[in-house]
Amino acid sequence: MHVVIMGCGRVGSSLAKALERLDHQVSVIDKDSQSFRRLGPDFHGQQVVGNGFDQKVLIEAGIERAGAFAAVSSGDNSNIISARVARETFGVEAVVARIYDEKRAAVYERLGIPTVATVPWSTDRFLRMLLPEGTATAWRDPSGTVAVLPLELHEDWVGRTVRDLEEATGCRVAFVMRFGTGVLPDSKTVLQEDDQVYVAALSGTVTDVAAAAAHAPEES
């Protein structure tokens, strides 16, 4: 696959070299020709000097045959504009933009442009490493509002329904891993031994949700 990357900073250059190691064809765009030094002498992809949202520059980089486009420059505006041009003008299917402003990231996600919101993503990675097991999240939305996390359930939850768990914890059960297979439960689904339950919760309630699940359910 041909991949076009806008931005040859530490992320862009690392991504370009990783893709080339996986036998993809790569073109890298950057306004500063000195940035291409980060690619090293073993990089054989195309290096294009210019703005990643300039259609002529994108065409020179092979955007018309590209299967993917990544905008990872240091500017949010440049990243999102170039991502929209790649998606809307050239029809590239896989487009991702790095965004520092988490509020903007949420907006562009709703517009159908996948983003990597650097600050929330980094924060969540630290939380996963710092917090006790059971409160770390498996996923967090770009705004940091909603988290998906695995719950460590008290053994007495076995035989109770998803509705019981949701009412006790104030969360929504997203899916259940049962015997290695993902299951989309409904409110009447009965929890079984060895189920791994993943729930969606507001970020500020994650600790309370985990604590409620760790206690035995109250008798009806």
Name the DSSP letter for residue 161: B
The CATH class of 2-121 is alpha beta
Name the DSSP letter for residue 89: I
Q: CA torsion 27→28→34→37, rounded to 10°? A: -70
The token pair that represents 71 in the structure block:
């905008």
Helix or strand (DSSP H, E) at 126: helix 118-130
Name the DSSP letter for residue 156: G
Domain boundaries, the chain: 2-121, 133-214
Which residues lie across from 71 on neighbouring strands?
6, 97
- Is the whole model's pTM more than 0.75, yes or no? no
Q: Which residues of 150-185 are buried (b: 16+ CB within 10 A; e: fewer)?
A: bbebeeebeebbbebbeebbebebbebebeeeeeeb
The token pair that represents 52 in the structure block:
């990643």
The token pair that represents 23 in the structure block:
């036998």
* Exposure on the CB side of residue 119, measured as CA atoms within 13 A: 11
Strands 25-30 and 2-6, bridge-based pairing:
parallel
Write the burial class of residue 131 (CB in 10 Å: 0-12 exposed, 13-18 middle, 19+ buried).
middle
Q: What is the pLDDT, as a whole number, of residue 141?
A: 66
What are the average pLDDT values for consecutive 10-residue runs of the chain, which has 220 residues?
96 94 96 96 96 96 97 91 93 90 72 72 64 61 76 94 96 94 95 95 85 87
Q: Yes or no: is domain 133-214 CATH 3.30.70.1450? A: yes
Distances (CA, A) of 77 to 41, 97, 137: 31, 10, 29
Q: What is the pLDDT, as a whole number, of residue 135?
A: 57
The angle formed by the CA atoms of residues 115, 118 and 124, to the nearest 5 degrees, is 105
